[in-house]
């Protein structure tokens, strides 16, 4: 009961009552988060199956383009219209026709068949690069954001040091030191993407580590590893997914650039960048030899950028 004759006592009583109500509301929020609130948060912020089938125009266009290129790469494992390694000087520099859709190069090799196989190797190297970079970045970003302190300071300063150099320059130096080849180019490209992915995961971890559902699960005895990988990481995926898709398009461009410079996939294995390099000297007499791989690179990057931008607008706007 509030003492109306004592204003100071009445004020103190009101403050205590409000504080008690506030504490009660906070406790109920924590309990709700522990029981079902976490699922509600994750439901709102993670990708749903319907998002993949009812996306906007950018997503649909992107999936169609990337799907076609990916299908060509997969089919090339089992079938190509012509042998990609067989040289036939009698067929050299032939224009596009029903027999050779993209014509032949100066060695008589079918350009379309080589572009199909090039899709397989270029996409394989690029996807492997992004998968490795994502895995390493998730571990580093979670550790930095959750642990903080000296761990965060040391790792982020290393990321700053890596970012201070042009990414392609680091990759060129690594490939030159480690010898050329598709197995060497992957770790060289991975370093290009770790800093940006790590910062994204770290930012998401900092955002969620003090959320109600995380605090409630700590109270209920969940381990730090479970907190990180079961409760925090799923909520970061929408933030990370768009960057991963855009990163894949950048990885394709980087791999093609390295192969064009002769530091990536080596002959006789075809890759889009290597095909551009080989067509450089005959681009005026046999332009289709360069147009085919160039067109594949451009369309794949456009498709991936459409997907990345569509995901960003759909889930992060």
Provide the pLDDT for residue 201: 94
Examine the domain organization and report whether 14 and 67 are in the same domain: no
DSSP 106: T
Examine the domain organization and report whether 94 and 224 are in the same domain: yes
Convert the pLDDT of each residue in 134-193 to its tens digit: 999 999 999 999 998 999 999 999 999 988 888 778 877 877 777 665 667 888 889 889
User: Are 104 and 278 a contacting pair, CB within 8 Å?
Assistant: no
Examine the domain organization and report whether 10 and 108 are in the same domain: no
Q: Which tokens go with 270?
A: 């075809």
Provide the pLDDT for residue 200: 93
Taking the CA atoms of 60, 63, 68 and 69 in sequence, report the sign of the dihedral they define: positive
Q: Which tokens go with 175?
A: 């490939």
Alpha carbons 202 and 139: distance in angstroms, whole number? 10
Contacts of 108 (CB under 8 A, 6+ apart): 86, 87, 88, 89, 90, 91, 92, 94
Q: pTM of the entire structure?
A: 0.78
Helix ranges, the chain (H) = 7-32, 38-45, 49-53, 57-78, 111-147, 149-163, 167-178, 182-208, 212-219, 224-226, 233-260, 272-279, 288-316
Alpha carbons 192 and 156: distance in angstroms, whole number? 15
Examine the domain organization and report whether 171 and 233 are in the same domain: yes
Examine the domain organization and report whether 232 and 206 are in the same domain: yes
We report the CATH number of the domain holding residue 261 as 1.10.3720.10
Examine the domain organization and report whether 5 and 19 are in the same domain: yes
Provide the pLDDT for residue 76: 92
Provide the pLDDT for residue 51: 45
293 alpha carbon, distance to own chain's centre: 23
Alpha carbons 193 and 76: distance in angstroms, whole number? 28
Provide the pLDDT for residue 198: 94
Alpha carbons 20 and 12: distance in angstroms, whole number? 12
Provide the pLDDT for residue 136: 96
138 alpha carbon, distance to own chain's centre: 12
Q: Which tokens go with 107?
A: 């060695």
Examine the domain organization and report whether 64 and 14 are in the same domain: no
Examine the domain organization and report whether 159 and 27 are in the same domain: no
Alpha carbons 55 and 168: distance in angstroms, whole number? 34
Examine the domain organization and report whether 159 and 266 are in the same domain: yes
Q: Give the number of domains in the chain.
A: 2
Helix ranges, 79-164 (H) = 111-147, 149-163
Examine the domain organization and report whether 40 and 55 are in the same domain: no
157 alpha carbon, distance to own chain's centre: 22
User: What are the beta bridge partners of residue 104?
Assistant: 110
Q: Which residues of the chain have pLDDT under 50?
A: 1-4, 7-20, 22-24, 26-27, 30-31, 33-54
Examine the domain organization and report whether 84 and 29 are in the same domain: no
Examine the domain organization and report whether 82 and 220 are in the same domain: yes
Provide the pLDDT for residue 163: 86
User: Are 228 and 142 a contacting pair, CB within 8 Å?
Assistant: yes
Provide the pLDDT for residue 57: 84
Q: Which domain holds residue 18?
A: 1-45
């Amino acid at each position: 009961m509030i003492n109306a004759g004592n204003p100071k006592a009445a004020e103190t009583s009101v403050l205590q009552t409000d504080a008690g109500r506030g504490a009660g509301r906070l406790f109920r929020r924590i309990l709700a988060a522990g029981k079902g609130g976490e699922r509600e948060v994750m439901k709102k912020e993670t990708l749903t199956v319907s998002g993949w089938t009812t996306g906007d125009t950018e997503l649909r266009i992107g999936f169609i383009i990337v799907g076609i290129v990916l299908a060509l790469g997969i089919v090339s494992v089992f079938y190509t219209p012509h042998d990609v390694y067989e040289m036939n000087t009698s067929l050299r520099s032939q224009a596009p026709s029903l027999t050779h859709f993209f014509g032949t190069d100066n060695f008589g090799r079918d350009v379309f068949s080589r572009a199909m196989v090039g899709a397989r190797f270029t996409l394989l190297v690029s996807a492997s690069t992004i998968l490795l970079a994502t895995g390493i970045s998730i571990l580093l970003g979670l550790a930095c954001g959750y642990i903080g302190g000296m761990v965060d300071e040391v790792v982020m300063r290393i990321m700053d040091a890596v970012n201070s150099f042009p990414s392609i320059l680091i990759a060129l130096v690594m490939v030159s030191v480690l010898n050329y080849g598709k197995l060497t180019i992957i770790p060289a490209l991975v370093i290009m993407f770790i800093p940006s992915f790590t910062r994204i995961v770290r930012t998401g971890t900092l955002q969620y580590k003090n959320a109600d559902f995380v605090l409630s699960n700590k109270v209920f005895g969940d381990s730090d590893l479970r907190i990180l990988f079961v409760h925090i990481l799923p909520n970061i995926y929408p933030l990370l997914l768009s960057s991963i898709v855009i990163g894949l398009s950048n990885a394709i461009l980087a791999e093609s650039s390295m192969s064009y410079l002769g530091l990536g996939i080596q002959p006789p294995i075809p890759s889009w960048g290597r095909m551009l390099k080989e067509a450089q000297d005959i681009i005026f007499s046999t332009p289709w030899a360069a147009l085919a791989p160039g067109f594949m690179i451009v369309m794949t990057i456009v498709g991936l950028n459409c997907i990345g931008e569509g995901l960003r607008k759909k889930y992060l706007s």
